[in-house]
Amino acid sequence: MAKTIISAAVVGSGPTKAMNPAVPYTPKDIADAAIECHKAGAAITHIHVRDPETGIVCSRLELFKEVYDRIRDACDIVINLTTSGGNIKGDNIIEERLEPVTLKPEICSLDIGSVNFAQRVFMNPPEWGIAAAERMRENKVKPEIEVFDAGHIRQARKMLDDGLFEDPPYFQLCMGPGWGIEATPDNLIFMKNLLPPNVQWSALGVGRAQLPTITLACILGGHMRVGFEDNIFMRRGVLLDSNAQMVDHAASIVEKLQGEIATPNDAREMLGLTYPE
């Protein structure tokens, strides 16, 4: 079995302290959560930022930079900054969403295809995907191609054929968010089989689907994502104490399946990354 990359998405845009008091809001708390996940076995951390006072998701570049600098000063975990654009309402949304790319992290998320969430539409029109792919390539940032349904993979494959992604492409199969594809074993196998051959891929499952999704992903030769962005419970009715607690649990699954956990440098080699200067 190949080495398994564990990614930790430590805050996202949905969970609040009212749901789980351990959800981090400030740049320091977000960075500390990522550093703890690195110690527990995560090779990659996926970063959103929040308004430090209100906890509302935002996209302020200075907050991304503070989180980035704090993490990089403390450890060598691969940093993946979101470009999902929380609460951006300007005249040039694409440009504002792409601001985190200017920090030149090793990875930025690139969401392909629009999807209905609980109370809103997550808009990712075709021009967004092309602009984001081109900007990330210009800045030598690896896109994490996030897909929420089967048609999104078809779109990503067309972009791959058009030369918009460098080899090896890296896919994140997002199972269960909003009204995207449901997080079931059959659907994960279906989505995995739609991917181009010989790509690196990871999977996440929302809520109670997190554990079965990451376990099956590992069995199928993929990687796994955990963290508060996707799930705040250890088990039914029992809140997680930290993001690192779920990373530790994910690592134990890999080990019980006779696998090996990828280090950050393993992940860099597998994904074709170069450690930032």
Q: Are 192 and 166 in contact (CB under 8 A)?
A: no
Q: Which domain holds residue 26?
A: 6-271
Residue 242 lies in a domain: yes
Query: Is position 277 within any domain?
Result: no
Query: Which of 1, 58, 7, 38 has its CA nearest to residue 203?
Result: 7
* pLDDT of amino acid 41: 98
pLDDT in tens, 217-252: 999 999 999 999 999 999 999 999 999 999 999 999
Reported as a single tens digit per residue, the pLDDT across 103-114 is 999 999 999 999
Distance CA 173, CA 150 (A): 10
CATH of the domain at 212: 3.20.20.70
Tell me: the pLDDT tens digits for 148-181? Answer: 999 999 999 999 999 999 999 999 999 999 999 9
Does residue 169 belong to any structural domain of this protein?
yes
CA distances from 254 to 199, 205, 216, 248, 257 (A): 20, 16, 11, 10, 5
DSSP letter, residue 201:
E
Find the mean pLDDT for residues 92-121: 94
In a domain, 267, yes or no: yes
pLDDT > 90: percent of the chain = 92
The answer to whether residue 52 is domain-embedded is yes
Of the chain, the percentage scoring pLDDT greater than 70 comes to: 99
**What is the tally of structural domains in the chain?**
1
Q: Is there a domain that residue 71 lies in?
A: yes
Residues 212-218, mean pLDDT to the nearest whole number:
98
- Give the model's pLDDT for residue 208: 95
* pLDDT tops 90 at residue 71: yes
